[in-house]
Amino acid sequence: MSSAELAEGVSTTALMIAATRAIESHRPDGLVRDEYAEHFVRRARSSVAMPTRIEDVDGGDAHPVWGRVGAYCALRTRVFDDAVRAASSPQVVLLGAGLDTRALRLDLPETARVFEIDRADVLAFKLAVLDAVGATARVRCDRLVADLADAWDVALLDAGFSVAQPTTWIAEGVLPYLPPPVEMRVLGLVDRLSAPGSHIGYEVVPGQESAEFRDHELYAGTGDAIGSHLPSLLDDKARPDSAGVLRAAGWEITERPVADYTVRYGRGPDPSVDDPIQLARWGFGQKKSRSS
C-alpha cells in the first residue's frame, strides 16, 4: 500500500472528517483552523473526490453530508479542542486519532506529551503527508500503531505513558464504531490508566442501531459523497451506558446533546431539524478518585 492510500471502511471517515475541517477552515467565521486538513484530502487516493471548500459543494450548506453532517463534525472538533485546552493535562491520548492534528493545531504547553493511537495505514498516510509539507509539532507526539480491540494499553505504556500523571483522553468519533464489549474494555482501560484529575471527552449515539437511524435519508448520499455508507460502518448492537460505567469508577461525567453546543457556540447543525444528529451526545468529565 502506498503512503498516499487509505484502506476502505472506517479510514474513509478519517478522510471525511479532515474534509469537514478543511471546509470549516476556509469559512471566515469558522470554528476550526486546520492548515493541514486540505493536504490530507488532496493527497489521498480516495475512490471519490472530497471537497475542501463549501463553495465546491452542490447545494452548499444545504448538502446533507457536507452541509449538515459537516456542521456537526466541525462543531464537534471545536468542542473537543476546547476540552483539551481547558484540561491542560501533561498527557493527551487520542484514541482512534485518525487524521486529527491537535498536536500541531493547539497551543499546548511545551511540556505536554501527545499519544495518538490508530491503525497502521492511517498513521503511515498521516505521517507521510505531514512530512511532505514540513509540519512539526511544538510538543512531543508519539504515534502508536494499535487496534482498540487489542492490547493498545501495552503499546501506550511501552511508549512511556505515565499512570502517575493526569491525562486527557479523547474518544472523538470512535465509540460508535466499536462493539459494546470493546467499548466497555476501552473505558475500563482508560479508567485503570488514569490518575485522579484526569479528563475524558467522548461521543456516543444512543439508538444508532435502530432501523430509523440507519435508513434515514440524511445518510442516503454518503456512499457518493465519501465512498462508504456511513451508518453501515457503525456498530449495530444496542449501546452500553458509557457514562454509567465511568461514574461507577469515580468519574464525574456530564453528557449533553449536540443541540446544546449549537446554542452555546452559535454554529452547528440546526437543532430544529429532526434527524439522527439529534441523538448524538458528547460526554466530558474528570476522574475524582482512584478505582479499587
> Which CATH number characterizes residue 96's domain?
3.40.50.150
5 belongs to a structural domain = no
- Tell me whether residue 95 is in a domain: yes
Q: How far apart are CA 287 and CA 251, in angstroms?
A: 4
Domain that holds residue 66: 10-287
Q: Does residue 33 lie in a domain region?
A: yes
- Count structural domains, the chain: 1
Q: Can you give the pLDDT at residue 8?
A: 63
Q: Is residue 2 part of a domain?
A: no
In a domain, 35, yes or no: yes
Those residues of the chain that have pLDDT short of 50 are 1-3, 292
Q: Which long-range contacts (CB under 8 A, 24 or more apart) does 19-22 make?
A: 19/50, 19/51, 19/52, 19/66, 19/70, 20/66, 20/69, 20/70, 20/73, 20/74, 20/77, 21/73, 21/74, 21/77, 22/51, 22/52, 22/53
pLDDT at res. 291: 58
Q: What is the pLDDT of residues 70-126, one digit of tens each?
A: 999 999 999 999 999 999 999 999 999 999 999 999 999 999 999 999 999 999 999
Does 205 map to a domain?
yes
Percent of the chain with pLDDT over 70: 96
pTM of the model: 0.95
Distance CA 178, CA 190 (A): 15
Residue 4 inside a domain? The answer is no
Confirm whether 131 is domain-assigned.
yes
